[in-house]
Structure 1
Amino acid sequence: MTTRTTSKAVYAPKMTRTRRVNNRTLVIRAGAGETDGNVKFANNKAEFEAVSATAGAGLVAVQISTKTCGPCKVIYPTFVGLSNELPKVTFVKIMGDTDLESRALMKEWGVRVVPLFFLFRNGEKVGEWSGAKADVLRENVLAACNADEK
C-alpha cells in the first residue's frame, strides 16, 4: 500500500484558474507562489489609511488591480518580490472591484486603468504610473527608495 503525502500550496487570492483542453485539466497559476510576501491588502479608504499609517514617514507602494485584469496578475509576483527585497517599504495591494467602498476609492483617486501604481510618502503622492512592465516597477520603487536615503 502506497501512501501519498501532498502539501497544499497557498496561492494569492483569485489567482488560480482551471481550464479543460483536449480532455485534460490545466491549472493556470499567476501569482506570487506560496506567499504574498510583505504585501498588505486594503479594500477601502479606511483600510488603506490604517496600513499607510504604520509606514510613518516611510515609502508606501500601492498596486491597484481588478479581479479580471490579466496584466495585474502578471506583474503581481514582481510586486511581491520587491516587498521581500525592500522591507522598509510598505507594499499595499488594492482590489478596485471588490465592493462599493473599493469602487468609491477608485473613483476618488481617478483610477481609469489597471494595473496602476502609486507611491506615497508622508501621506502625499510622490509617484504614479500604469502598466505591467516589471523593469519600470522596479526602477520607480528603487528610485523613490534612493530619494529617501539622500
Structure 2
Amino acid sequence: MTQTPHQTADSFICLHNRQEFDNVLSTSANKLVVIYFSALWCGPCRSALPEFKSVSKDPDFSVDVVFCKCDVDEVSEIAEECEVQCMPTFCFFRDQEKIDYFSGSCKGRLREYITKHK
C-alpha cells in the first residue's frame, strides 16, 4: 500500500494539525469520515484501538469510509470543535458536517455506526 505522509500501515490517517483535519474533510467527497479521538494515557482508548484498526482494514468499509485518528492532547482545538468531552470518542462526518458521534469502548458499536451511515 502506498502511504501518504500521515497514512499509517494500519490504513487510517493520523491527524496532527488543523490543516490535515480540514484537508481530510474537504477531499473526502461524499465518503463517510470516521475520526477516532483518543489520548495516550487513556485506558479505554487502548482497549478500543484494536477494534478501530480491524474495522479500518475491513474491505467492506475501505472504499466508502475514510478512517482517521486524532490525539486530543496533540490537537486539542479539533477535539474542542468536535465537542469531544471524553475518550474515546468516535465522530462521523459527511460532506464536511458532523452527522453523529458516540463515546466509549463498546465492542461492535463502531461497525454498527459505520453500517448505519455508510
Pairwise same-fold verdict (TM > 0.5)? yes
The residue matched to 2:44 in structure 1 has which SS? helix
Of 117, 121, 126, which aligns to 2:94?
121
List structure 1 segments (4+ residues) > 3 angstroms apart after TM superposition: none
Give the equivalent residue in structure 2 for 1:14.
none
Give the equivalent residue in structure 2 for 1:30.
none
C-alpha separation in 2, matches of 1:105 and 1:118: 11
Give the equivalent residue in structure 1 for 2:68.
92
2:23 aligned with 1:47, yes or no? no
Aligned ranges 1:20-39 → 2 under 5 Å: 36-39=9-12
CA drift at 1:36: 4.6
Structure with greater contact order relative to length (CA < 8 Å, sep ≥ 6): 2
The residue matched to 1:57 in structure 2 has which SS? coil
Aligned ranges 1:3-22 → 2 under 5 Å: none
CA drift at 1:90: 0.2
CA 1:77–1:66: 2 relative to 1, 3 Å: same
For the Cα contact (< 8 Å) 1:36–1:80, is it kept in 2? no
Give the equivalent residue in structure 1 for 2:5.
none
| Residue identity (%) | 31
Note the residue ranges of structure 2 that are not aligned, 5 or more in a row: 1-7
Q: How many residues align?
A: 108
Note the residue ranges of structure 1 that are not aligned, 5 or more in a row: 1-34, 146-150
If the length of structure 2 is used for normalisation, what is the TM-score?
A: 0.83
C-alpha separation in 1, matches of 2:104 and 2:98: 18
- Quick check: which has more Rg, 1 or 2? 1
Q: Deviations over 1:91-119 (max 9, x none)?
A: 00000102xxx112222222210100111
